[in-house]
Structure 1
């Protein structure tokens, strides 16, 4: 599937807009980015959460850089045949990475259907 970066970023923004406002208000110290490619050691990675999950933050959490949620354009486009597929996969990936911010691990996300 071919898609320009601007359109892909619009789909990520749409996916974020679809997350309930109450949940988005709970995101704390997080930046959401779009990159073309994931780290070379994991070329099929669709998204990545880097930081301290809310469940891991203690009394000493402070003065740290924002957590990062990165959505990777090229791997998502590689697994999608249509724009509808991209919309769905971006939505799933955004929810999946936000869930990591709340301390939900991959095993639980797969159980919940957000694999």
Structure 2
């Protein structure tokens, strides 16, 4: 397990968001990213989750008044599975990319094919 403050972990998440491809960033709208300590008890090893309606499932009337989609990155399971700060930073990047991909409508099977899951 890696020791890391919440502030350091949040910085790793922020840095991961900064590494998203520049041509994708303008298409990300009305999404908030949270860091939480633990995932729900029924999924103790979950590293992140996307909660929202993927872009590929939205109709032409989507938008007005819609609550933001949420991406949550879970700190403690990430720290438990990693053996170094560098590994945490890499795992956070993979998790952020994975959850942003869900926002764009890319499912787990396709992420596996692309090597991101």
Query: Do they fold alike, i.e. is TM over 0.5?
Result: yes
Q: CA RMSD in A?
A: 0.8
Q: Which runs of 5+ in 1 are unaligned?
A: none
Q: Deviations over 1:71-114 (max 9, x none)?
A: 00001111100001001100000000000000000111011110
1:30-69 correspondence to structure 2 within 5 Å: 30-62=31-63, 63-69=65-71
Q: CA deviation at 1:60?
A: 3.1
Name the structure 2 match of 1:86: 88
Q: CA deviation at 1:23?
A: 0.8
Residues of 2 paired with 1:112 and 1:56: CA distance?
21
Name the structure 2 match of 1:70: 72
Q: Which runs of 5+ in 2 are unaligned?
A: none
Residues of 2 paired with 1:47 and 1:111: CA distance?
19
Q: Please give the TM-score of this superposition, normalised by the length of structure 1.
A: 0.96
Q: Please give the TM-score of this superposition, normalised by the length of structure 2.
A: 0.95
Name the structure 2 match of 1:96: 98
SS in 2 for 1:16: helix
